[in-house]
C-alpha cells in the first residue's frame, strides 16, 4: 500500500487530478460500548493502521485495540538515568575536584547530600524531556497539519460522539471491505477523509528554515524583554520602591553619624530578650574557678556531646581529640586535648574556651547552645579517660 510520500509524488505529477488521495474512512458511534465493540471487530479483521477518537477516555480501549506497550517508557528511563548520572557526576566533580570543602566533619563525597538534588533532576529530566520527545518524535513538531483537522468527524468526536478512522495505508485496506466492516459494526455517517497538499507534506520539520527563523526571533524578543525588565524597568519608578527604602542596611555608609558608619554597636548593657549574657567575658580564670558543669555524665548526655563534638570540634581536633586535623593544612592544627594541662583544666575553663574562643579558635557560642557545650565537655572527659586510662580502670 502506498505511503503519504508516494501519494505526494503521484499528486505532484498530476496536480489537476480531481480525486485527492484518500487518507481514511471514518465512522461515528453513539456510545462507549459501541466504539469498544467496533475497535474489537477492527482488530479481529487484522487492521493495524487505525485510530479511535472519543470525547473522554474509555476504559478497556487499549485492550480492544490490542495496543502494544508504549515506547515512551524507554525514553523516560533513558532520560531519567541521564539526569541522575549528570547530577551526581556534576556534584562529585565539584566536591572532589573543583571546590572541595569539609562541612560539619563530613567527607568530601557525602552522597546523602546528593540525594534530594539527584532525585529532583531525575524527575524533571524524565518528565519534561519525555513530553518533549513525544511532541518532537511522535507528533513531528512543529508540524500541526493533519487530514482529520477541521473535519465534521473530528468536531463530532470532540463533543458528543465516538469515532473510528481506518487509514488507507493499512496493508489490508480495501475501501469496500472497510465500509462493510464499519456498517456491520453499527457505524453511522461513514465518510472518506482526503489528503490536502499541506497534509501530504506533514513530515518532520524541526529543522525547517522558517521554523528556525521563528525560534530565533522569539529567542531574541524574549531575551530583550527579560533584559529590559530586570536591568532597566526594575530600577525605574515605581518598581524600585521596595529596593530604595529610607533605611540603613548592613555595611552601608551613613551621613547621619559623625564616623560615617551606618552599623552601630549595641547600647552598653543591652540584653536581648530571652538571652542571658555570658558573665565571664574576658575572664578565663574566674570562669574556671566559678563555673560548674550542670550535666551529669549519663549515656544520653555523652551521646549528645559526641554528636556535637563530631559536628563542630572533630574537623580541627580530630575524632579522638589528638589534634590531628582533617583540614589538610587549610587551618592550623590545634593542640591535643590529652595534654596534662587540658586534662587538669576545670570544666569551666573548657566551657570558657568554647564560648569565647582562644588564639585562632573562634567562638562557638552562636553555633552550639549552652547545654550542648556542657555535653561536649562531658564527652571530652570520656575521650581523655579512654586515652589516659589508669590501672584501676582495667580491673
| Between 86 and 10, residue with greater pLDDT | 86
Strand-pairing partners, residue 191, are 26
Q: Is the pLDDT of residue 150 over 50?
A: yes
Place 17 in a pLDDT band, splitting at 50, 70 and 90: very low
Q: Within a 10 A sphere around the Cβ of 24, how many other Cβ atoms?
A: 24
For residue 263, the number of C-alpha atoms closer than 13 Å in the C-beta half-sphere is 4
Place 203 in a pLDDT band, splitting at 50, 70 and 90: low
> What is the model's pLDDT at position 174?
92
Cα–Cα distance list, 289 to 286, 306, 349, 350, 363 (Å):
5, 25, 8, 11, 20
Q: What is the largest CA-CA distance in the chain?
A: 112
Please spell the DSSP secondary structure of 376-394, one letter per residue: HHHHHHHHHHHHT--GGGG
What average pLDDT does range 296-300 have in this prediction? 91
> What is the model's pLDDT at position 16?
45
Q: Is the pLDDT of residue 197 over 80?
A: no
> What is the model's pLDDT at position 114?
92
| Between 331 and 73, residue with greater pLDDT | 73
Place 8 in a pLDDT band, splitting at 50, 70 and 90: very low
Q: Domain spans of the chain?
A: 1-206, 209-264, 284-389
> What is the model's pLDDT at position 20?
78
Cβ(363)–Cβ(357) below 8 Å: yes
What average pLDDT does range 214-237 have in this prediction? 93
Q: What percent of the chain has pLDDT over 70?
A: 92
Query: What does DSSP assign to residue 23?
Result: E
> What is the model's pLDDT at position 14?
47
Place 204 in a pLDDT band, splitting at 50, 70 and 90: low
pLDDT tens-place string over residues 305-339: 999 999 888 888 888 888 888 777 777 888 888 88
Mean pLDDT over all residues of the chain?
86
- Of the options 3.90.380.10, 1.10.760.10, 3.40.50.280, 3.40.30.10, the CATH number for the domain spanning 284-389: 1.10.760.10
Whether cis (ω within 30° of 0) applies to the bond prior to 142 is yes
Q: What percent of the chain has pLDDT over 90?
A: 43
Give start and end residues of each alpha helix (H) in 65-114.
72-93
Place 375 in a pLDDT band, splitting at 50, 70 and 90: very high
> What is the model's pLDDT at position 13?
46
pTM of the predicted protein model: 0.48
Amino acid at each position: 500500500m502506498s505511503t503519504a510520500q508516494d501519494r505526494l509524488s503521484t499528486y505532484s505529477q498530476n496536480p489537476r487530478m480531481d480525486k485527492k488521495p484518500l487518507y481514511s474512512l471514518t465512522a461515528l458511534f453513539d456510545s462507549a460500548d459501541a466504539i469498544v465493540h467496533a475497535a474489537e471487530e477492527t482488530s479481529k479483521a487484522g487492521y493495524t493502521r487505525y485510530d479511535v477518537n472519543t470525547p473522554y477516555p474509555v476504559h478497556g480501549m487499549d485492550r480492544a485495540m490490542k495496543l502494544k506497550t508504549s515506547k515512551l517508557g524507554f525514553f523516560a528511563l533513558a532520560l531519567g538515568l541521564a539526569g541522575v548520572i549528570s547530577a551526581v557526576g556534576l556534584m562529585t566533580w565539584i566536591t572532589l575536584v573543583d571546590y572541595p570543602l569539609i562541612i560539619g566533619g563530613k567527607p568530601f563525597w557525602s552522597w546523602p547530600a546528593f540525594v534530594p538534588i539527584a532525585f529532583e533532576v531525575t524527575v524533571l529530566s524524565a518528565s519534561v524531556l519525555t513530553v518533549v520527545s513525544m511532541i518532537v518524535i511522535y507528533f513531528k513538531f512543529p508540524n500541526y497539519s493533519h487530514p482529520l483537522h477541521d473535519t465534521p468527524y473530528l468536531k463530532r468526536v470532540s463533543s458528543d460522539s465516538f469515532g473510528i478512522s481506518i487509514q488507507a495505508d493499512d496493508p489490508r485496506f480495501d475501501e469496500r471491505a472497510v465500509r462493510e466492516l464499519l456498517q456491520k459494526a453499527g457505524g453511522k455517517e461513514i465518510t472518506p477523509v482526503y489528503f490536502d497538499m499541506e497534509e501530504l507534506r506533514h513530515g518532520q520539520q524541526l529543522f525547517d528554515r522558517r521554523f528556525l527563523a521563528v525560534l530565533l526571533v522569539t529567542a531574541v524578543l524574549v531575551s530583550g524583554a527579560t533584559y529590559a525588565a530586570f536591568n532597566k524597568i526594575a530600577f525605574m519608578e515605581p518598581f524600585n520602591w521596595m529596593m530604595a527604602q529610607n533605611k540603613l542596611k548592613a555595611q552601608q555608609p551613613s551621613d547621619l553619624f559623625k564616623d560615617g558608619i551606618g552599623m552601630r554597636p549595641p547600647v552598653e548593657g543591652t540584653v536581648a530578650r530571652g538571652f542571658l549574657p555570658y558573665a565571664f567575658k574576658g575572664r578565663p580564670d574566674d570562669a574556671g574557678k566559678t563555673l560548674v558543669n550542670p550535666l551529669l555524665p549519663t549515656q544520653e548526655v555523652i551521646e549528645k556531646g559526641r554528636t556535637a563534638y563530631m559536628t563542630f570540634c572533630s574537623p580541627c581536633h580530630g575524632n579522638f581529640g589528638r589534634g590531628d586535623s582533617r583540614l589538610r593544612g587549610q587551618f592550623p592544627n590545634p593542640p591535643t586535648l590529652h595534654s596534662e594541662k587540658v586534662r587538669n583544666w576545670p570544666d569551666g575553663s573548657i566551657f570558657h574556651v568554647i564560648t569565647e574562643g582562644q588564639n585562632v579558635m573562634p567562638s562557638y557560642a552562636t553555633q552550639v547552645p549552652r547545654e550542648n557545650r556542657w555535653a561536649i565537655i562531658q564527652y571530652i572527659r570520656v575521650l581523655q579517660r579512654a586515652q589516659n586510662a589508669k590501672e584501676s580502670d582495667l580491673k
